[in-house]
Structure 1
Amino acid sequence: MAINKMAGKTAGDAGAGDEGVLARCAVAFTRWAEKWFPDAFVFVVLGVIIVAAGNLATGAPVGAVATGVGDGFWSLIPFTIQMSMVVITGYVVASSPPVLRLIEWLARVPATGRGAVAFTAFVSMAASYLNYALSLVLGALLVRALARRQDIRVDYRAAGAAAYLGLGATWALGLSSSAAMLQANPASLPKAVADITGIIPLSQTIFLWQSMVMGLVILLVSVAIAYYSAPGDAQARTAADLGVDVTEAAAETGAATRPGDWLELTPILPLVIVALGAGFLVHEFQNKPALGVISNLNTYNFFFIMLGLLLHGRLRSFLNAVSKAVPSTAGVLIQFPFYGAIAQLLTQVPGSDGQSISHHLAHLFVSLASGGTFPVVIGIYSAILGFLVPSGGGKWIIEAPYVMQAAIDVNAHKGWAVQVYNAAEALPNLINPFWMLPLLGVLGLKAKDIVGFSFTQLLFHLPLVLFLLWLLAPAA
């Protein structure tokens, strides 16, 4: 209802004279970012240099630091391919004729530019509770569809930032939570973590009533901020203003003129493959916990490939969509290896005392925590480390042994400790270009275009999340 009320305001309500404080702040931050915010690749290069300098400062040999860069550089290749496939398969499904019709229908719901931004935020965050990758691609294509409307002026930057809120606000509180899924699945949980924490069921993490209340509050606040920070008509910069082409070319299927064309155009081949894929998925759900199957990124990508084949119905249409999606993965492919090097330097290169940088950081923050302050202290720590190691599951494996031991030592609720990590994990995403890359590729934007609006969200999210983590903390 709140979304409809927002969307129902008249276009005149968004005039320049009605620009609120949040809108002026977001525009000011964005103008600053447009001038000073570099390409996302600069951040990852600076990250490598800063962490390497930190290693040297702790007494690590130069050779060990250089070796750490090389050893870590390719460590995220499986994840790199997975995330690239998330973009490709998500785009393929979302660009299929049936889903495009659904997105076009959704794009007709808002009645004003500001309402469109708020609506995008709601759709993105709601989808992220099911799967973070879905929220990225669905949100991005919804923004493109909204930008094609001629009856409202949608600020393309604000809408892009709103589409990113699934990753920047709520994803880790839902079924995509890598930490919660790892803790609930004994087959996936590393022994070093399991020996300390034991198995923690989802009923004690993402399905705690405190966690669900926190997720709802964050969603509502984020939608409101998205609405009030969006520029009005006079200040809005549309996709056309930014030089972004949002037209969607019709699928090129053509007619069969030779036997090879017939194979590309027949629906028989895709249906056979989809039937085989469906058999595999049925087997997975019959023999594994449903939540474990859903949380597996390989299975998720497999499902979307099969769904894409089914929705396109023709191999030629499917491959045309893949070709259009591949350029959107460029940032992911070149930057993820550098993040792998950063993770290696943080966790695997010991200083003169034999301890890594992450170990020193952990003990610094954990030493400050008591039972009452534990959620806030660990939340701050996880958010800071999350900017340098933007991987929910990988970072949890790094943090879990000492964070969960600290939770036990101060008699904190173990499941809530996981949720502290989850809620704080999303905070740095709001300004970290790492997770923006798939979205930006689809939108045709740079990080500097949306970071002013996402930074505005961060100004509210940081105190709100830390307060909720403290206020809602259940007893052990």
Structure 2
Amino acid sequence: MIQKLGKKFTDIFQRFMPDAFVFALLLTLITAALSMTWVDASPLMVIRSWYDGFWLLLEFGMQMVLLVVTGYSIALSPQVNRGIDSLAKRIRSPRHVYYLVVFLGSLFTLVSWGWMVITAVLGRELALRIKGIHYPYLIACIYFSNLIWVCGLSSSIPLLLNTPGNFIIEAGILETTLPTANTLGSGLNLAMLALIVVAGPLMMHYLAPKTEEVPTLEKLLGPESDKVSTTIHEEARLLKLPFRAFSDLLNNSRLLQYVIAISGLVYLVHHFMTRGLDLNLNIMIFIFLILGLFLHGTPMRYVIAMKRASGNISGIVFQFPFYAGIMGIMIYTGLGEELAMWMASVASVDTVPFFAFLSGALVNFAIPSAGGEFAVIGPSIIKAVQEIGVALPPEELNALISRAVMSVAYGESLTNFLQPFFLLVIIPVLGAGTKIQARDIMGYLVIPFLVFLIMQLAVVMYWPI
């Protein structure tokens, strides 16, 4: 019954959901219309806000490109391939793969949401080795595993509020930082973390579709597949000149590559010794890059691996600016702040978590970045909580603020199941050589979305902070 319902949702998404780029264009028009009707922004102001926002995600977009290609290049190394071969021999069925990628992916993204790329690499390689894997559903499982990231070490909202001199303090809304013990270390967050780690893999295990014609990766790969007839080592050998040349000596020099790689390793040791477990996007990319240098051994092999890993990143390159434009409309017309103020007008002490969750969930469609979203609606939400809880003792008020900001984070993360923005990060890895689009995947996430919507709302409303 549940599998049939999941197939029904998938059929609906395939019929009605357009390409991720068209989704962004439609969302742009919807956000613009809301700005003109709700906050009375003029058409020219909307267009100017759209243009000004267009460039807000350039750094983030480049980080995503590098995250994808450096992560994928690691998977192309012979050492990683041997490790995945060994793992594949121990897995008996596709359902075990679905469970494994959700479970491991959840653990990976607890460290950093960018590690979703590692899960994507693992999932694709397992799909090439194990027969009978429903590939679109496997991609949905990998995307699902990123739900937990807001509970982990890279959760941007609680980390921001624990940063001295953050913009909330500078604006005079909070007097001091909000310790992560009140947010990431709270009973509320630990309960949410346990819920996702335990229930998530089990649910995706049992929701696996049952079809006679399983769309495996092998069937989906077209003639443009990234499967090549020569290994990276062989291609590097073929690129050498037929005679001894200094250029080939440099191109294939292990000494040159290892000197650079060891220098990078020295910096990483220094970074973690002086800053603790600071895993921002830049340091994650640097780790992937240095690890790739070690694994491939020579500059030419690494160049070939990066070239193969870069073959499908166009979606990130040209679509991120359009989502940034939507973000600009939300920020510069005041639409995001207006939404948060609306929450303040209807919420009470008991319903603040519900409306904070709802605000995070809705605004995520227009601003699919937790930090960017909180910059828009965070100040208004915290001020709303302070007004609603003005009669509460300081400890209870801080607990209510912590619950509200974490509710925003949970809502933001959950609606990624219906928003293909971050799917663009793993599609270059998982969709390479296929014609898979977001509409082939998102339908499998509707039931998980509905189930976790109910469970997460129950946790944020009733679980002790």
Give me the TM-score of the superposition, normalised by structure 2: 0.89
Q: 1:279 to 1:145 in 2, by over 3 A?
A: closer
Aligned partner (choices 82, 88, 113) of residue 107 of structure 1: 88
- For the residues of structure 1 that align with 2:226 and 2:85, how far apart are their CA atoms? 13
Is residue 2:23 matched to residue 1:39? Answer: no
Within 5 Å, give how 1:223-242 maps onto structure 2. 223-232=201-210, 234-242=212-220
- For the residues of structure 2 that align with 1:212 and 1:246, how far apart are their CA atoms? 41
Q: Answer yes or no: is the 8 Å Cα contact 2:65–2:316 preserved in 1.
A: yes
Give the number of equivalent residue pairs. 442
What is residue 218 of structure 1 aligned with on the other side? 196
- Secondary structure of the 2:306 match is helix
Q: 1:39 to 1:182 in 2, by over 3 A?
A: same
Within 5 Å, give how 1:354-433 maps onto structure 2. 356-409=334-387, 410=389, 411=397, 412-433=399-420
What is residue 5 of structure 1 aligned with on the other side? none
Is residue 2:127 matched to residue 1:147? Answer: yes
Q: 1:143 to 1:278 in 2, by over 3 A?
A: closer
What is residue 125 of structure 1 aligned with on the other side? 106
What is residue 24 of structure 1 aligned with on the other side? 4
Aligned partner (choices 413, 434, 443) of residue 452 of structure 1: 443
Q: Percent identity?
A: 29
Is residue 2:262 matched to residue 1:272? Answer: no
What is residue 11 of structure 1 aligned with on the other side? none
Is residue 2:287 matched to residue 1:303? Answer: yes
- For the residues of structure 2 that align with 1:402 and 1:221, how far apart are their CA atoms? 33
Give me the TM-score of the superposition, normalised by structure 1: 0.87
Q: Answer yes or no: is the 8 Å Cα contact 1:23–1:230 preserved in 2.
A: yes
- Secondary structure of the 1:240 match is helix
- For the residues of structure 2 that align with 1:97 and 1:149, how far apart are their CA atoms? 15
Q: CA offsets, 1:147-178, max 9 Å, x none? A: 2235x3110011110011132x2111101201
Q: Which runs of 5+ in 1 are unaligned?
A: 1-20, 350-355
- For the residues of structure 2 that align with 1:40 and 1:127, how far apart are their CA atoms? 26
What is residue 50 of structure 1 aligned with on the other side? 30
Is residue 2:345 matched to residue 1:345? Answer: no
What is residue 173 of structure 1 aligned with on the other side? 151
- For the residues of structure 2 that align with 1:69 and 1:212, how far apart are their CA atoms? 38
CA RMSD for the aligned pairs? 2.1
What is residue 322 of structure 1 aligned with on the other side? 306
Cα displacement (A) at 1:227 = 1.2
- For the residues of structure 1 that align with 2:384 and 2:84, how far apart are their CA atoms? 46
- Secondary structure of the 1:370 match is coil
Cα displacement (A) at 1:107 = 3.2
- For the residues of structure 2 that align with 1:89 and 1:345, how far apart are their CA atoms? 32
What is residue 236 of structure 2 aligned with on the other side? 253
Q: Which runs of 5+ in 2 are unaligned?
A: 390-396
Q: Which of 261-270 and 190-199 deviates more?
A: 190-199
Q: Which of 75-84 and 215-224 deviates more?
A: 215-224
- For the residues of structure 2 that align with 1:270 and 1:373, how far apart are their CA atoms? 57
Q: 1:205 to 1:105 in 2, by over 3 A?
A: farther
Q: 1:283 to 1:147 in 2, by over 3 A?
A: closer
Question: Letter of the aligned partner of 1:319 in structure 2?
Answer: V
Aligned partner (choices 128, 137, 151) of residue 158 of structure 1: 137
- For the residues of structure 2 that align with 1:24 and 1:52, how far apart are their CA atoms? 37
Cα displacement (A) at 1:143 = 2.1
Q: CA offsets, 1:40-67, max 9 Å, x none? A: 0011111111111222223222221221
